[in-house]
Amino acid sequence: MATRTPPAWLRTGIYWFFGFTFTMGAITKFYSGETFFGPAYSEKFAEWGFDPNMRFVAGAIELVCAILLVVPRKQTRFLGASMLVLLLTGAVTTHIIDEAPVGEEVSAPLHLVAMMIIALVNWPADWRELLPGRAPASPSVGSSVVRSGS
């Protein structure tokens, strides 16, 4: 039974879409004034009980992950999506505890689920693929060779 995969242009478009959305999220965290998402993130982070400067850390992580999502390698996309899963888990928890507006209550969990799917789709066959300059282990030479009898 053959599995159907979406065309390459659609997959690339999805990665670029999420790369763009997380880049916009990072930019708004670096911006000091009011954003199109509402009040400044320095105020939001303080309301949530975090140091207002933590917005720079969250924004930097989002920006790095956005770049990793658009690099056309499974390993980098896996790392970017995995890091965003961790960041978004904190965001979802914060929005649940803080009783955020509906837009934030829905957006963060949807992005979390999307990043989980992207991480699973790009899951490496061998963990060594994630190390720089390392190739996945090849099967041993004699394991798959069928010997003819004599």
Domain spans of the chain?
A: 10-124
CA atoms within 13 A of residue 45's CA, in its CB half-sphere: 18
19-75 confidence digits (pLDDT tens): 999 999 899 989 887 877 778 888 888 888 899 999 999 999 999 999 999 998 888
Given a contact cutoff of 8 angstroms between Cβ atoms, the answer to whether 62 and 22 are in contact is yes
Q: How far apart are CA 143 and CA 134, in angstroms?
A: 22
The pLDDT, as a whole number, for residue 145 is: 47
91-146 confidence digits (pLDDT tens): 888 888 887 667 667 888 899 999 999 999 988 877 766 667 665 555 544 444 44
